Structure 1
Amino acid sequence: MLLQQGQARDERVDLNLAVTLAGTAGALNAAAFYSVGFFSANMTGNVSTLSDHLAIGQWQSALFYFSIVFAFIFGACVSTLLINTGRRRHIHGIYAYSVLTEAILLALLGCADLWLLEAWRTPVVVLGLAFLMGLQNAVVTRISDARVRTTHVSGMATDIGIELGIALDILRGRDRETDAAHNRSKLRLHLYTISAFLLGGVLGVVAYQAIAGWLFMVAAGLLFVISLTGISRSRRIAGRNGSSDFATESGD
């Protein structure tokens, strides 16, 4: 799930990635909104709210919403730098290591939600989660060549509409029948991703009502298992190929 990249990935691998990480992202985002009243991954809504506060001169609120957007972008930037460094150094499991980084930081965020003073809890949870959602979205975007985006529901909904339009043209004989299988595959991927995000959100709120910030620990544990599975597989593959998972490029 975290090893093959781009065209080397098949539909099953992309579906597993989408359902697992979109479900996790949905749970975290909905739980955070239930807890502190802010969305950490909804950049469309956050930018719109930012513009609203700027227009009416609410500078402190505007600064906070700007910080959410910046944290998301910064997370994606850090993820990209980490992945680029890993690929230059031929670290086969770099995407798994990126998810491992997310898991560790998410566990720390869970500690903050559980034990931080109330005055600091909201900004730390919102900005920390925005950073992690940016990091995660960049990982899945890069590894899937942008076929999977675990937090970008607006884009996925748009893609579903596009694929439905293509499907209707195929059914009416206006488009090539040979494209039907590819169309169904993409439509299935986007539907599964949104469904996972939705179901994850429902379960996330229910779980947060029951165990509060321990939900972040549970999600971190899931990501930890996923990442370690990918790292273990990458090392086995590297061992069979006679290379190291931490090989560096010549000249480093």
Structure 2
Amino acid sequence: MLIQEGDKRTPATDLMLASILAFVAGGVNSAGFLAYHYFSANMTGNVSMASDHFAVAQFDLALGFLAIVVMFIFGAFTASVLIEVGRRQRRSNIYALTLILEAALLIIVGIAVTLSPQPPNGVLIVGLLSFTMGIQNAASTRISGSRVRTTHVSGVATDLGVGLAMLLGISSNPDKLATMLRLKLHLATIVFFALGGVLGVLGHQNFGDVSFCVFAMPLIILSVRYLR
């Protein structure tokens, strides 16, 4: 699941990867919003909120939302650099290492905030969470040839609508099977993102910021078998 890239991957491996990573992204996103009132995986919403606050001269809030967006971009940049270096060194486990980095950061954030004697800065914490989401989205996009995008729900929902139109409007389409497989992938991404969101809220209500550590566990379980 974390070795083969692009067209070498099967629909089943893409589906499993999308489900696991979307679940983690949904959980982290919802838990972070519940705790700090910023989204770590919704860059469309963050840019929109930054624009709204700039318009009413609330520059400190606007810059906070933009900082989260920048951290997401930096996370994607970091993951892409790591992947490129790993591929040049012919490390077949580079994607596993990248997701382990994401998991380690989630654990560090969860433990650090839980043990901190002072109330944490919301922009800083969500910025770090956004950094991990950028890592995840870049890794899933690169390994799947852009088929799996686990934090980009707006784009996935658009693709789902387009696929449904193609499926219903072109019954003789020779690519009907491929369209069905893409629809299944998009639907699973949305469903597991939503499921992760529900559990993210429940987890944070019951365990606080330790819930970020909990959402690191699926990444570790997924990646550990590929590390050797």
Q: TM-score range by the shorter chain?
A: over 0.9
Q: Offset at 1:215?
A: 1.2
Deviations 1:144-199 (A, max 9, x none): 0010001000000000011001001223x4xx2x2110010000000011000001
Q: Offset at 1:36?
A: 1.2
Counterpart of 1:249 in structure 2 is: none
Counterpart of 2:198 in structure 1 is: 202
2:175 to 176, 179, 183: 179
Task: Say if 2:163 and 2:182, in contact at 8 Å, map to a contact too.
Answer: yes
Counterpart of 1:101 in structure 2 is: 101
Q: CA RMSD in A?
A: 1.2
SS at match of 1:3: coil
Q: Offset at 1:88?
A: 0.6
Q: Distance in 2 between matches of 1:144 and 1:113?
A: 33
Counterpart of 1:12 in structure 2 is: 12
Q: Distance in 1 between matches of 2:28 and 2:11?
A: 25
**Are 1:212 and 2:201 counterparts?**
no
Percent identity of equivalent pairs: 45
Q: Which amino acid in 2 is paired with 1:219?
A: F
More displaced stretch, 136-145 vs 215-224: 215-224
Listed as ranges, the gaps of 5+ residues in structure 2 are none
Task: Say if 1:26 and 1:196, in contact at 8 Å, map to a contact too.
Answer: yes
Q: Distance in 2 between matches of 1:117 and 1:155?
A: 40
Counterpart of 2:135 in structure 1 is: 135
SS at match of 2:215: helix
Classify 1:229/1:86 alpha carbon distance in 2 versus 1 (closer, same or farther; 3 Å): same
Q: Offset at 1:212?
A: 1.2
Listed as ranges, the gaps of 5+ residues in structure 1 are 233-252
Q: Distance in 2 between matches of 1:87 and 1:133?
A: 21
Classify 1:209/1:36 alpha carbon distance in 2 versus 1 (closer, same or farther; 3 Å): same
Task: Say if 2:23 and 2:194, in contact at 8 Å, map to a contact too.
Answer: yes
Counterpart of 2:150 in structure 1 is: 150
For these two proteins, the number of residue pairs brought into alignment is 228
Q: Which amino acid in 1 is paired with 2:217?
A: G
Classify 1:167/1:214 alpha carbon distance in 2 versus 1 (closer, same or farther; 3 Å): same
Q: Distance in 2 between matches of 1:187 and 1:118?
A: 46
Q: TM-score, normalised by structure 1?
A: 0.87
SS at match of 1:57: coil
Deviations 1:107-160 (A, max 9, x none): 101112312244434223211101000110000000000100010000000000
Counterpart of 2:184 in structure 1 is: 188
SS at match of 1:14: helix
1:224 to 214, 220, 226: 220
Q: Offset at 1:18?
A: 0.4
Q: TM-score, normalised by structure 2?
A: 0.96
Q: Distance in 2 between matches of 1:187 and 1:194?
A: 11
Task: Say if 1:112 and 1:125, in contact at 8 Å, map to a contact too.
Answer: no
Q: Which amino acid in 1 is paired with 2:206?
A: A
More displaced stretch, 203-212 vs 188-197: 203-212
Q: Offset at 1:66?
A: 1.1
Q: Distance in 1 between matches of 2:27 and 2:16?
A: 17
Task: Say if 2:18 and 2:148, in contact at 8 Å, map to a contact too.
Answer: yes
